Structure 1
Amino acid sequence: MVSDSDFQSTYTVDAQRFELSNALQTTLEFKKLLTIFSSKINSLIPHNAYAYSNTLFDMEINQGVVSKYSCSYALKAGDQELGELTLMRNHKFVDEELDLLENLLCLLLYPLKNTTLYHQALKMAATDQLTQTLNRVSFNDTVKREMNSAKLNGTDLSIIFLDIDHFKDINDQYGHDCGDSTLVAVARLIKETLRKSDTIFRFGGEEFVILVSQMDLENAELLARRIRTAIECNILVYDMKPIKVTASLGVSTLHSDDSFDTFIKRADHAMYKAKGKGRNQVVLAY
């Protein structure tokens, strides 16, 4: 039997689906998109929190209070992996709610796919494809943003310039493929030494820059020395030949009166001083 209440219920759900679909078209930011989805479906499927993870972007988003009961969905559109979404609350989800949720998640997939593709394009534009580090394009904006944040919050910010020693000789003696392998290996060794919050850029050629937040000059020096040691102790094997690689590093920390230019040039000059003093060493800029 079909009653007026059934019609009203169907109409309400369809109206909310339409509203949800429109709302999900308004942003290409992951957190905003997921917050819109969560808030719009909450009257239909009440929940206290959501968690979203996306390994492609090394992303974890959590909103609300973690609760006892949850339901999780791996999201995918075609061949595109879109991460995993979990809803949580203090009592179990019933089958009718799960059926409805799976239906509503279909409305999320393509906005989420568009968001993923958009951020993949941004990531590619900002990434050095050989070493998978950030590139020079993103350097200025990132450093300026971190400088402003450090000055506003009164926190430390340090920067390390690194240049691979005798890189031209490696290219000339062993070829550019070996040079590329050297760059990849050095980038990997740097990444393995850094914290998750630190940022590495390929600044150009054989030069890398590491931006370390909430770290003073003394600790940045220790980090630079660990990086130098890791590179020196690693033997690169190319075409069955062992190749010894070393690097020269310059370290600077942010001063309250620093401009963008003075901050980075101080570390750059320290790096060139390290090369001038014999290479394979760390020099501080006070």
Structure 2
Amino acid sequence: MKKKIANLAVVNNKTYEATRATNLQHYDISSALQTTLNFHELITIFCEKIHLMIPHDGMVYCNPQFNLEFKKGMNTRHSCSYKLTIEDLPLGELRLMRRQRFGNEELKLLEALLCCLIYPLRNATMYQQALQMAQTDPLTKTKNRTAFNEAIAREFKLANRNSKHLSLIFVDIDHFKSINDNHGHECGDIALASVANLIKDSIRGSDILFRYGGEEFVILLSETSLDDAEDIAERIRLVIYNHTLAYGMQTLNMSVSLGVSSLRGNDSIGSFIKRADRAMYLAKANGRNQVKRAQ
């Protein structure tokens, strides 16, 4: 039987210090939690440190803000769950599980010990928020070029290590300069944001969209073959082509040119990117509003 989820609201310094002095006299939980800003490491350290005081067979931590969920140990009949917050800042939810029901005294102790986790989780949350801001394009709310460089390096290694497909789609808005010249840069900004939203609505949850620069976007598709990536690119092209953008008393019809490439055995990251980029420019050279696959 699960204990009803409890909310830990504001935990002030006085409460934190009192809890620390009373309950952690012989334990180094607090200092151990100051060694990392990684959510997984924080929760792992906390659960390991409290295990002798509050034995448990498994744990689950989820944080929807950062799309995080990780588990360790076994799912069991009994559990206790806590939504962790401080000053209206959500810090995720922690659930501990074991075969026997948690006693009232154990729950009181756990709730006191959780005070030591609050501040490290807050620091980790603020750090991750800062990272997200640094890797987000403010206009289109997509990931930026810096984020792309990190993501493709990671996915390139994973695809080669596991012999998995990896594909890229380069997207360029056709005649974008004329939109700025004829309607102004505010209209151009609206067009960029609109195209970004249409692409987001057209791709899968596992695909990642980046603003590569100017009016150019790139989509990273893990475990996706060239044929499947081409199908997704064609879907994007049609969605944008069939969309009418309203600006003031005027309407604009836009189109995009797309280039698609898939990772090959002898590829470097550079050759992989260049092949998709060349395919996109070929689409533009051949009349725009079309998809070209890399040869």
Q: Give the TM-score taking structure 2 as reference length.
A: 0.88
Tell me whether 1:223 sits opposite 2:232 in the alignment. yes
Q: After the TM superposition, which residues 97-246 of structure 1 pair with which residues of structure 2 at under 5 Å, given as runs?
A: 97-246=106-255
1:218, CA displacement in angstroms? Answer: 0.7
Per-residue deviation, residues 240-278 of structure 1 (Å, max 9, x unmatched): 433212111000011111112211111101101111111
Per-residue deviation, residues 64-105 of structure 1 (Å, max 9, x unmatched): 222222222111122322111111222222221121111111
Match of 1:251 in 2: 260
Any idea what SS the aligned residue of 2:167 has? strand
CA contact (8 A) 2:23 2:112 kept: no
Select 1:96's aligned residue among 83, 96, 105: 105
Any idea what SS the aligned residue of 2:220 has? strand
More moved, 96-105 vs 70-79:
70-79
Q: Name structure 1 gaps, 5 residues minimum.
A: 1-10
Per-residue deviation, residues 5-64 of structure 1 (Å, max 9, x unmatched): xxxxxx994335x41111111111110100111111111122222222212212222222
Q: Distance in 2 between matches of 1:90 and 1:185?
A: 52
Tell me whether 1:14 sits opposite 2:20 in the alignment. no
Any idea what SS the aligned residue of 2:170 has? strand
RMSD between aligned alpha carbons? 1.8
Q: Which amino acid aligns with 1:149?
A: L
Select 1:282's aligned residue among 288, 291, 295: 291
Any idea what SS the aligned residue of 2:289 has? coil
Match of 2:33 in 1: 24
Q: Distance in 2 between matches of 1:89 and 1:195?
A: 36
Q: Distance in 2 between matches of 1:181 and 1:64?
A: 48
Q: After the TM superposition, which residues 26-45 of structure 1 pair with which residues of structure 2 at under 5 Å, given as runs?
A: 26-45=35-54
Aligned length: 276
Q: Which amino acid aligns with 2:24?
A: D
1:172, CA displacement in angstroms? Answer: 2.1
Q: Distance in 2 between matches of 1:233 and 1:89?
A: 55
Select 1:53's aligned residue among 62, 79, 90: 62
Per-residue deviation, residues 115-171 of structure 1 (Å, max 9, x unmatched): 111111111111112212111112223212211221121111111100011111222
Match of 1:4 in 2: none
